[in-house]
Amino acid sequence: MENPNLLHKFLVWRARYLSLTHFTLILGVLVGIAAGLAAVILKTSTHFIQKLLTSTYEFGPLNYMYLAFPLVGMLLTTGFVVYFNRNKLGHGLSNIIYNIAKKGANIEPDKTYSHVVTSALTVGFGGSVGLEAPIVTTGAAIGSNLARLFHLSYQKRTLLIGCGAAAAIAGVFNSPITGVVFALEVLLLELTIPSFIPLLLAAVTGTVVSRLLIGEDILFNFKLTDTFAIRDIPYYMVLGVITGLVSVYVSRVIGKIELPLLQINNRFKRTLIGGTLLGVMIFILPPLYGEGYEILKNVFTGQEEKVLDGSLFHDFKDNVWAVWAFIIVLVFAKIVASSITIGGGGNGGVFAPSLFTGGMLGFGFARLCNLSGFTHPISESNFGLVGMAGLISGVMHAPLTGIFLVVEITTTYELIIPLMIVSGIAYATIHYFEPHSIYTKQLALKGHLTSGNKDKQVLTFMQMQKVLETDLQTIKPTDTLGQLVEVIAHSQRNIYPVVDENRLLQGIITLDDVREIMFQREKYDTVLVKDLAHQAPAVIQMGEEMETVMRQFDDTGAWNLPVVQDGKYVGFLSKSKIFSSYRRLLLKQAKEE
């Protein structure tokens, strides 16, 4: 834990000698270094585990280690989550977006290491998921906690979360531009132009750290050998539609497979079921083991027959149609395996599975065209690369991320035209069926998605306790009109909550309700409060989100609404006071930006 006196002295020194803008730039670089190191640690530890396991056994047909390794990795992951992480691991990037939207961009400190450990165990032992989401979560957590350490505002915390995410993606792919675009598209960050500088510095720093420590040994790279041909454009357009439709399949299948597994309350039972299913799938289809980048490289370099190595179907390696059919099966099986891995208790993301699926799909489409004999020869590796961008565009609703990722891993803009065509069509296709990405779908359904909506963002930071009015005079249902008039005479408000002896809200009375009879003294002892009270237009529950509260104000047209907790009256909310608080928060955010 930091020394509070030392930290306070540093903050005072920083405020005196270093502007917030320059301090943020420095922090962006520091986050980039930390996220880059985390990316290197995760990648090397994962591949160390893989080599340690596979160097002992020759993975050939009927190798039953395929059945055991994924289950062991998922059990180790579950054990870590249950006994060391107290079941707080969360669901990767969806949690990051939720924390930005609903928790003031505050991410738990344990996220700076827990995703590195669990994803290394999961993927290292063969879990069919990717490392990208865990490392992005780690980088984002580093940024958030560093910002919180130095007492930075929500906007700066969000910015440093973006820096961590950008540096993480840049570090694992050696792709700084993709890192920046990913932070903006996938995490839905809304930044001003000056905020781009820390983001750029973080991405560049993450890339440099990765290159210094592991050189060009990144997750996936490919040297382009074929040029783009204009006459292939119609085929790329068809591929765009296909990748969009397969993206719909990915988005829906993941939810349908994960949900039944997640409904199993016992984590270890869930892992045993998921790990066993995954082991069986990998035993039948060995290319599902791990991330799958090596398989993609083999396919793109003309060694596609290697996809059958170690499988029950290796005798069909010389049959081009059998190889093609096997690849198409992998397109649809990879997502199933990824869903089982995550739902069963493993940790990883769908970034790598999306790239794998898109690459296999693009290659399979081009191979089918070439085998049919009805078209001129088209580049199968080019279509595979562009298919990767199409799936990223569709599944993540991130067309620019897909485009720049392929550009940077191939180190050329040769395919920029087909990349734009396929990514654009894929995005338009899935958007017709699924308006939200795989990361934001559930958040949107629950009303937790605030990006792009300034009102929602400001209301998120508004705390009900700070606008709750508790100075209203309460009255009892059994009080008389005379007692009520006495309360009115000593009150400056025009609304009175009616509560019983247990403080349960029974209704409300407004000044307009008694204006006509309050001076009729003959009724002071005969008319009771319960005869005058009426139900409030709506009753707000303590702790409700302010967005829901404002919706109730709009629906009822009221300016004041009572708040209860377990039925007991606690105070009133005033629309005018909420508006005043809203305006202050809006001005504060504008200054911080």
Encode the chain (593 residues) as per-residue pLDDT tens digits.
Answer: 456 678 888 888 888 888 888 999 999 999 999 999 999 999 999 989 988 887 765 555 557 777 889 999 999 999 999 888 776 777 778 888 888 877 778 899 999 999 999 999 999 999 999 999 999 999 999 999 999 999 888 888 999 999 999 999 999 888 999 999 999 888 867 677 777 899 999 999 999 999 898 876 666 677 888 899 999 999 999 999 999 999 999 999 988 998 888 888 888 999 999 999 999 999 999 999 988 888 998 899 889 888 888 788 888 888 999 999 999 999 999 999 999 999 998 999 899 999 999 999 999 999 999 998 888 899 999 999 999 999 999 999 999 999 999 999 988 999 999 999 999 999 999 999 988 888 887 776 666 555 544 555 555 656 777 788 888 888 998 998 888 888 888 887 888 899 998 889 989 998 888 888 888 888 888 888 888 888 888 999 988 877 788 888 888 888 889 999 988 998 998 888 888 776 776 665 555 55
Q: Identify the CATH class of 230-449.
A: mainly alpha
Backbone torsions φ then ψ of 470, nearest 5 degrees: -120, 10
Nearest CA to 335 out of 571, 128, 109 is that of: 128
CATH 1.10.3080.10 domain position(s) in the chain: 4-214, 230-449
Q: What would the CATH number be for the domain defined by 455-592? A: 3.10.580.10
Strand partners, 499: 505
Q: Which amino acid is at 571?
A: G
Q: Cβ neighbours of residue 565 under 8 Å, at least 6 residues apart? A: 541, 542, 543
Q: Are 59 and 113 in contact (CB under 8 A)?
A: no
Residue where the block lists tokens 């990998």: 282
Query: How far apart are the C-alpha atoms of 535 and 477, rounded to whole Å?
Result: 13
From residue 168, alpha-carbon distances to 182, 251, 354 in Å are 10, 24, 18
Determine the Cα–Cα distance for residues 574 and 235; give it in Å rounded to an integer: 60
At 421 the three-state DSSP class reads helix
Cα distance between residue 530 and residue 507, in whole Å? 8
Separation of alpha carbons 134 and 175, rounded Å: 17
User: Which residues face 496 on adjacent strands?
Assistant: 509
Distances in Å between the alpha carbon of 217 and those of 40, 172, 213? 10, 9, 9
- The vertex-45 CA angle with 39 and 51, nearest 5°, equals 135
List, by residue range, all CATH 3.10.580.10 domains of the chain: 455-592
| Token duo for residue 341 | 């891995």
Element (H, E) at 508: strand 505-510
Please give the Cα distance from 287 to 285 (Å, whole number). Answer: 6
pLDDT given for residue 98 in this prediction: 83
Q: Give the per-residue pLDDT at 455.
A: 52
The third-level CATH classification (topology) of the domain covering 4-214 is Clc chloride channel (1.10.3080)
Q: What is the pLDDT of residue 462?
A: 66
**Which amino acid type is present at position 535?**
Q
pLDDT of residue 530: 86
Measure the CA dihedral 460/461/464/466, to 10°.
Answer: -170
What is the chain's percent helix, strand, coil content, to nearest 5? 65, 5, 30
pLDDT score for 27: 95
Phi, psi of 19 (to 5 degrees): -70, 155
Q: How far apart are CA 413 and CA 321, in angstroms?
A: 32
